[in-house]
Amino acid sequence: MKVINNKKELSDLIFAFKANKQTVGFVPTMGALHEGHLSLIKKSNIENDITVISIFVNPTQFNNKNDYNKYPRIIDKDIDTLKNVKCDILFIPTEEEMYPKEDTKVFDLGNLDKVMEGKHRPGHFYGVALIVSKLFELVKPHKAYFGEKDFQQVAIINRLCKIQNYEIEIIACPIIRESDGLAMSSRNMLLSAEQRENVALISKTLLASVEQSKSMTVSELKEWVISEINSNHFLDVEYFDIVNDSTLESIEDWTEREHSIGCIAVHVGSIRLIDNIRFYF
């Protein structure tokens, strides 16, 4: 595994790989790696000759400075973790390396960045699009891998590739869950032992909502999910919406079931967790 901190060295290496007709897979992360990240890396290793991983806690996608400051940073442990999987290049840039000057790019993300996460975290997806565009232009991967836990983000990245004309195949990979159903997230390590015991209710309720949807309207189901989770005093639902999986627009009834997905954000004290569930199989 080659660890790189500057953009020129990364670009030179990528150029050499491609000149040798090797395919490049890319897994961008913010570190605090877990089995969800490793599943993306393993898939990239299967499908590509070379796998590049980045670790960068991107300041422009945090609309809450406290959230940025407390985001887990365990780079030494991450490097040890990556020694157990095939990682050809690990790119760990500084903020100055990625943002040497103010970037004034503008992205037309349509309505995708204005609902759910975009509504509750204004500016978040601009920051995501900005850093991903920078990384894509450096790595120039054939394929890039993202987890479906961040379902809205995957839609944003696909839109970004279209408007920027990136010839990159975006591979969305299934959510990896803990044994009790909790979606794996770097933020999980911030939970106290008591909080950790209670957050499994999120995924448990989402799973139960699939069966409940057979006898409830969309509106009734949304109310039920929010009520079930809020009944636990450790949890506070920020939003739960059932949307079209392409447009991310709220659906009104189950005639769109074959394209419906439920997306949720829940506060657990000062920690914010997201998850989703499909209503079609």
Tell me which of 196 and 280 has the higher pLDDT.
196
Q: What percent of the chain has pLDDT over 90?
A: 96
Q: pLDDT > 70: what percent of the chain?
A: 100
156-212 confidence digits (pLDDT tens) = 999 999 999 999 999 999 999 999 999 999 999 999 999 999 999 999 999 999 999
Q: Give the pLDDT score at 90.
A: 98
Whether the per-residue pLDDT at 281 is higher than 80: the answer is: no
- Residue with the two structure tokens 């990136």: 166
Q: Calculate the average pLDDT of the chain.
A: 96
**Alpha-carbon dihedral 80, 81, 85, 91, rounded to 10 degrees:** -80
Q: Are 44 and 25 in contact (CB under 8 A)?
A: yes
Q: Residue range 13-31: average pLDDT?
A: 97
Nearest to 170 by CA among 6, 47, 70: 47
Q: How far apart are CA 132 and CA 169, in angstroms?
A: 14
**Structural domains in the chain, sorted by start:** 2-173 (3.40.50.620), 186-274 (3.30.1300.10)
| Whole-structure pTM value | 0.96
pLDDT of amino acid 121: 95
- Residues with a catalytic annotation lie at 37
pLDDT band of residue 68 (cuts 50, 70, 90) is very high
- Helix pair 218-230, 200-212: axis angle to 10 deg: 150
Written as six digits, the tokens of 253 are 């009834």
Determine the average pLDDT of the residues in 105-127: 95
* Cα–Cα distance measured from residue 271 to residue 202, given in angstroms and rounded to the nearest whole number: 14
Residue range 216-232, pLDDT digits in tens: 999 999 999 999 999 99
d(CA 41, CA 39): 5
